Every structure is written in C-alpha cells, then in structure tokens.
Structure 1
C-alpha cells in the first residue's frame, strides 16, 4: 500500500529533502564508503557505551539580507549591478552540565557588493556599507553568493573568540572554509544531493532516531568526512528527521569516527518540535533562537532601503 507523509517542515520553507522520497539530484562527487565499515557490512550504528556529550557545545550561525539592489553609471557609459546587504553572525554557548544557554557573541556587518571599478563604500545616513569588489562581470543573479565569504569570515572570528577548549563547535551548514577548526562539525538540515549508491542509501533510510550511518568521504572541492543521523521527532517517512553531518577530511579516520559518535549523543538533545518550529526537528532549538536574535539585529529593512534610496547619488 502506498503511504503518504506530510513533511514536518512548513511548506513555506520548501522541503527537508530534495523531492519525492529523498534526495533527487545525484552528486558528482567521488565518495569513499569503506573507511569505517566495508560497504557490504554497512548497518545503522549507535554510539558506543561510555560516549557522552561534551560539557559545552557552541553553535554558530549567520543570516543575511539584501537591503537593496543598485546599479552604477560609469564614465564610459557602462553599468554594473550591485547589492547592499546586511549580514550577522552569532554563537550560542550551551552548558549541558547546568542546562543553560547564552549568547556568547554576535556581530552585524553591512557590505556593498559589485564589480564596478569606480565606486567606494556606500554611506546611507549613519550606516556604512563597506565595498566588496566582486570578480568578473558581476551579474546581479550571481551577487548574492558573494555575501557568503564575508559572513563565513565573521562566523570564524566569533567562534574563535568564544572557544575555551574541550568544547564541540557546531556550524549550521557545510564547513566550507572552516575545516581547520578543531572539534568542529558541519550540520546540514536539507538533503538535496544523492551521495551514496542505492544499497547504502537503504541503510540510511533504515536509521531509527538516535542512530547514524557509517562515515564516508566526499571528494568534492570542499571535501569532508560525512555521515547521516536521524533526529527524534520525525513522522516516520524515509527521510524525515534526517540530517547530514560533516567534519574535516584532514582528520584521521579514528578522529572522524569519534566526532560522529559525539554528534550522535549531542545533536538529538537540541532537536526541535513541530508545534514550536516549522522546520522541526532539523532546525535545532539554539539555532532557531539565534536566527531570530540575529535577524532582529539587522535593523529595519524598510528604513535601510529608504536611506539607501536617498544615498544613491553617492555612487557616481
């Protein structure tokens, strides 16, 4: 009998998986699947006895918003597109020993992203959008991706300031340029790429809450050790409550397995519930609170857009 499932995520956020019954787009990355277990022995794994959560968990996230799209008029008659963007990063420190969480640091920055060779910072009233030169023609459709680099740098800066040693740092999203950070894992909520062959994918979809897959290695430009983990609170669908976790590819297999087991006893503690979060259970409770705080710090979008409108003559 065919079964139907309503995704626990609110429809306005898309889906937690790529489409249908799971990731629909095959990845072109080379994958090594025999590091922890031979492919023929893959099975759902539980944390070994004695593995416990670290005393302190740091969760870092960032948000970004396009405040306005702009264009320049160059002396030679040409024109370049530009984006004025606000972005913010923050770190939540969770002391699991006492059951308390606090904001360990947050910072807002604003940037003007364009390929124009002639403009500088954009000053809108008392707000300054620092110039970020974008390589190439700077098509408008490609400019939003340019915000990710400065945002990642801000996250790294705040993470470093918050660490005290012995903690676990959870990055909301892929690690990308943060692979060098110690005891750090990337947390990927949405599954839109098919990394594993069908036989091993069946092992993943057979995971119960609190179980993980064996680790595997992805050979992309942002290569990593990776594994799947199912959180509690899903609806029983094959990919419900599923997240992918990753760590640095430079780690020995033993250390990657250690982090995988550590994630298994730590991340489920932060899983959200549908009546509190439309992206439950994957949107972790501390991350959801941090996102709300950071979006508030970005300021009033309407006022910033008005200020930028008044300041556009400064681009000439």
Structure 2
C-alpha cells in the first residue's frame, strides 16, 4: 500500500492555509499530470467472471440475432450519464503539527455531475441535472473547503489495505458520482408522468449497471472492453455480428451478477470488434423480460449511434450521451477559475 502521508513539508510553490481544525495546501502541479509525489496505479488483473451462456439458447445453437421485424421502439428513452473532474490535488496537514507541517495526507478536490436526457416525441431535452463539489480524503479531521467559486464538501473515506491511496480516493469519487446518477435517474422517471408514455420508457445507463440494477426497464451500456468474457469459440462469433445484430443473452458474475449481450452498432467495416458494445440488465429479471430488453436494445441504441465525422468515439458514443456530457462539463465550471479559487482559499 502506498504511504498515505508525505514526509515533506509544503514546498514554496504551494499555497497553505488554516481552517477550523484543518490546514491544507494545494499542489502546484496540474491535476491532469498526477501529483509531484507519484502514487501507484491499480492492477486490473485478469477476468475471473463466472459465465452461463445457456440463458437464451444453448451454446451449440449460438448465432447472430436480428431484432424481431415487428419490434416497437420505447415511447421515451432516458439516457443517464455523469462526468467527474479533479480540480486540484491537495495535502492536508497533520492535525498535531504546531509549526510548519512535516507530514500531510494526500487528497483531491473534485467536481462531479450527473444528468438525464429524455428522447421522446417532444424531441431531446434535459430532464434532470445535479452538479456537486467534494474534498475526498482519508484525513478524519478534514472539513469543508469554502472558496469564492463554491464549497467542496468533505467526503471522508477509509484507507484500503493493499490499495494505493490514489485508487482509494478515485473510487470514493466514483461512488459519489454513481450515487448522483442514481438520484437523477429516479428524479427523471418521476417527471415522465406528463410525457404520456405510460411505462413504455427505457433507461439507458452509460456504463455498467452496478448499483442501479434495481431500476425498472434499465440497461447498462458499456462502450469499451477490457476482458474476453465468453469462451473462445463464442468470443470469435462476436466479430461476425452485422450492424444491428446481437449475441444471445448470457449470465455473468464477478462481484455482482447481471445478464449481458454484445451488440454491433452501425459503422463502416473495420476491425472485427468495430462498433461492438456490451449491454447489461438485472440478473433478477425473468428470462422472458431479459430477452425482451435484448430485442429492444438494437432498435433503440442503433438509432442514436454517432458518425465518425462528428465524434471521434463513433459509433459507441451515442449522440444523446455526447450532448449530455458536454452540458455536464459546462456546468462543472471553468477549471482555471476553480483552481485559482482553491489557491486563494488556501492562502
């Protein structure tokens, strides 16, 4: 585990301040470069997922599947996404230091936001948004940091045995962001009453469904791939999918269980996995409901696939999600102003 404390006092290039029960410094390095004290990265390791490929059809009957010819689209599609940005890396002085600090705990000041875009007969419109700022730290005596550009609420987390401090803080930030995404998703669903869709909506979470799998009519949308979950012969079949085709449903389990399937979005021919996304839904749903969501996903998601000349992450970065990300990042504020505000607060 990386040491949670720096053995050195703040350098002349940093700003130091006192607060009620807390003194902190702002690291002079741009947060996009990490910190002046390098912290170890996490080792993702190999996948150990448990896989059951016989959910929809037996493994020896697997083949690319087209959606039913009469498959209807949902009355409204709710796209849920969140963004996060580290505004500054800070050092919180040891509470017992009477003079110049000799030890300090690394922390991060970050902005994060979640939002929902609704695509329905009224067009695409922002349905819910929630932006917040936080100070993420393992220092028990840390308090809120108030600046002229907003307040960073103290978010305490415990150090994890065998996990680098940088990963611990990043995980705490991601958990808070996931909580905000869940809140805006629930809020957005409540606002659909006036849309006249009568339960015919679909909730699309950008990223894994973990922590949100209890939401009704919800799927997770995973754009990138870090592991080969399927057996070799079925994994090879994913590359044979045509635009709008999907694999049969399979059940996968890691630290949590979910149903999943692969889908190819429309794109020009390229690498075998070009345009491939993984879609997830709850493991608790009956098989018929899972297959219904799987059949619904191609006619819904392919409609919003992006084009290369408009988006560098095409076709996986769906248009509503790309637009939502831009709006959320705008609402985070100017990073230069926020960094300056933190330096002023520390000084």
TM-score when scaled to structure 2? 0.80
Q: Deviations for 1:61-113, whole angstroms, at most 9, x for unmatched residues? A: 00000000001111345421110000011100001x45x10111112100000
RMSD over aligned Cα atoms: 1.5
1:47 aligns with 2:67: yes
Offset at residue 222 of structure 1 (A): 2.6
Residues 222-241 of structure 1: CA distance to partner in whole angstroms, max 9, x if unpaired? 32100000000143321000
Report Cα offsets for 1:175-207 as digits up to 9, x if no partner. 111011000000000012110011101221110
C-alpha distance in 1 between matches for 2:254 and 2:166: 27
Q: Which moved more, 1:60-69 or 1:196-205?
A: 196-205
Larger radius of gyration: 2
> Which stretch shifts more, 109-118 or 75-84?
75-84
Q: Report the 3-state secondary structure (helix = DSSP H, G, I; strand = E; otherwise coil) of the residue aligned with 1:273.
A: coil
Q: Residue 48 of structure 1: CA displacement?
A: 1.8
Report the more deviating stretch, 206-215 or 123-132.
Answer: 123-132
Q: What residue in structure 1 maps to residue 5 of structure 2?
A: none
Corresponding position of 2:184: 158
Q: Give the C-alpha shift of residue 243 in structure 1.
A: 0.3
Aligned length: 287
Asked if residue 93 in structure 1 is aligned to residue 127 in structure 2, the reply is no
- Does residue 133 of structure 1 match 2:156? yes
Q: Which of these residues, 48, 57, 62, is aligned with residue 77 of structure 2? A: 57
Q: How many angstroms does 1:141 deviate by?
A: 4.3
Comparing 121-130 and 224-233, the one that deviates more: 121-130
The answer on 1:194 being equivalent to 2:228 is: yes
**CA drift at 1:38:** 0.5
Q: CA deviation at 1:303?
A: 0.8
Q: How does 1:30-45 map to 2 (within 5 A)?
A: 30-45=50-65
Contact 1:224/1:246, CA 8 A, preserved across alignment: yes
Q: TM-score, normalised by structure 1?
A: 0.87
The range that moved more, 145-154 or 55-64, is: 145-154
What secondary structure is seen at the aligned counterpart in 2 of 1:132? strand
Match of 2:209 among 156, 162, 175: 175
Aligned to 1:13: none
Measure, in 1, the Cα distance between the counterparts of 2:254 and 2:339: 38
Residue 84 (structure 1) aligns with: 109
Instruction: Give, in whole Å, the separation in 2 of the partners of 1:122 and 1:222.
Output: 36
Q: Which structure 1 segments of 5+ residues have no match?
A: 1-24
Q: Name the counterpart of 1:19.
A: none
CA gap of 1:53–1:279, structure 2 versus 1, over 3 A, is same
* Long gaps (5+) in structure 2: 1-44, 98-102, 193-198
Q: Which residue of 2 aligns with 1:107?
A: 130
Distance 2:313 2:297 in 1: 20
Query: Do the aligned residues in 2 keep the contact of 1:60 with 1:90 (CA within 8 Å)?
Result: yes
Q: Pairwise mapping of residues 163-312 of structure 1 onto structure 2 (< 5 A)?
A: 163=189, 164=192, 165-312=199-346
The list of structure 1 runs, each at least 4 consecutive aligned residues, that deviate by more than 4 angstroms after superposition, is none
Of stretches 162-171 and 212-221 in structure 1, the one that deviates more from structure 2 is 162-171
- 169, 184, 195: which one aligns with 1:143: 169
Say which SS state the counterpart of residue 89 (structure 1) adopts: strand
Q: Which residue of 1 aligns with 2:34?
A: none
The corresponding residue for 2:17 is none
